[in-house]
Structure 1
């Protein structure tokens, strides 16, 4: 069981201000996306053997922007409901959820560099499995504080399930080695 760990938790003002809470994951996600060179990432994605039902590359940007916005808003709702509660147990759950939220965002932002930047599909798979567990637990914790916040995390959990399938599928179909796809992407430049 995770508890509130101040050193692993965003400051309370991140959750208190709706604009900050919503924009932080969107801006951080966009920064990571652009830092991994989107043109190269897209070429590598297209060069990889893909499992059935893989989406087109252009879908990931809008999907993640929407999910980041929803998670930021849900975080704001859960924190606001919990921090203003007179029930000490609810306050404790809100703080615990804030720690889990911070950890999950770190895991989330680590996935793309692991997979595309460092070409480590096994490490990316471990990351996304841990991410799914943390998000599931965080959703449970914050859902007790604010039911709507819990429901707002449902699309994120659904997408993470699908993303885990894609990550494992791509890893397996490419023998857990992305070097061939990287070389093919570079030749196509």
Structure 2
């Protein structure tokens, strides 16, 4: 018999992060006016990429949760790893788009990246498959960090940019 609770929690978390990320990512005049590197993918690609990545992360969470059945300490650790990652995932878009501070987002993405390293390393002994499901997320955030850095370099400084009027 399938236990739907972890599936619903992980799926709901992924859905929340995807929707929040979309709502906190206005592609308006400010963003369009930024100079971007030639290797930036088209804007339409980000939504499908994040949908797949967050779906894989939710799948990873369910596998890790099920693999730790009967070990409350391991389950707590898995939950902490995913919650910390979700917090850092959530923070990036408002920093970059709402506050118009790609420089702050660049600092924050280091913590997001580190949370993914922690997930990959922390999940490996529990389930190598759950750990491997995080790799696309890790690679995308690594690429996004390089892209974020290029945008900061091409457009900075951002001091005083602040939120839109």
TM-score (norm 1): 0.76
Distance of aligned partners of 1:50 and 1:107 in 2 relative to their CA distance in 1, 3 Å threshold: same
Q: Supply the distance in 2 between the matched residues of 1:155 and 1:68 (Cα, whole angstroms).
A: 10
Moved over 3 A (4+): 91-94
After superposition, give the CA deviation of every residue in 1:125-179 in whole Å (9 maximum; x if it has no partner).
1111111011111111112101110010010000010000011110111013298
Q: Supply the distance in 1 between the matched residues of 2:81 and 2:157 (Cα, whole angstroms).
A: 29
Report the 3-state secondary structure (helix = DSSP H, G, I; strand = E; otherwise coil) of the residue aligned with 1:45: helix
Instruction: Report the counterpart of residue 50 of structure 1 in structure 2.
Output: 36
Contact 1:93 1:141 survives alignment (8 Å): no
Distance of aligned partners of 1:121 and 1:65 in 2 relative to their CA distance in 1, 3 Å threshold: same
Deviation of 1:20 after TM superposition, in Å, equals: 3.0
Contact 2:103 2:158 survives alignment (8 Å): no
After superposition, give the CA deviation of every residue in 1:93-120 in whole Å (9 maximum; x if it has no partner).
4422320210111111110000000112
How large is the RMSD of aligned CA atoms in angstroms? 2.5
After superposition, give the CA deviation of every residue in 1:42-73 in whole Å (9 maximum; x if it has no partner).
x4333211123100011111111111111011
Distance of aligned partners of 1:47 and 1:77 in 2 relative to their CA distance in 1, 3 Å threshold: same
Q: How many aligned residue pairs are there?
A: 161
Gaps of 5+ in 2: none
Instruction: Report the counterpart of residue 38 of structure 1 in structure 2.
Output: 26
Instruction: Report the counterpart of residue 19 of structure 1 in structure 2.
Output: 8
Contact 1:79 1:94 survives alignment (8 Å): yes
Distance of aligned partners of 1:176 and 1:64 in 2 relative to their CA distance in 1, 3 Å threshold: farther
1:74 equivalent in alignment to 2:63: no
Instruction: Report the counterpart of residue 111 of structure 1 in structure 2.
Output: 92
2:103 maps to which of 122, 126, 151: 122
Q: Supply the distance in 2 between the matched residues of 1:96 and 1:28 (Cα, whole angstroms).
A: 20
1:132 maps to which of 104, 108, 113: 113
Instruction: Report the counterpart of residue 18 of structure 2 in structure 1.
Output: 29
Contact 1:16 1:76 survives alignment (8 Å): no
Report the 3-state secondary structure (helix = DSSP H, G, I; strand = E; otherwise coil) of the residue aligned with 2:100: coil
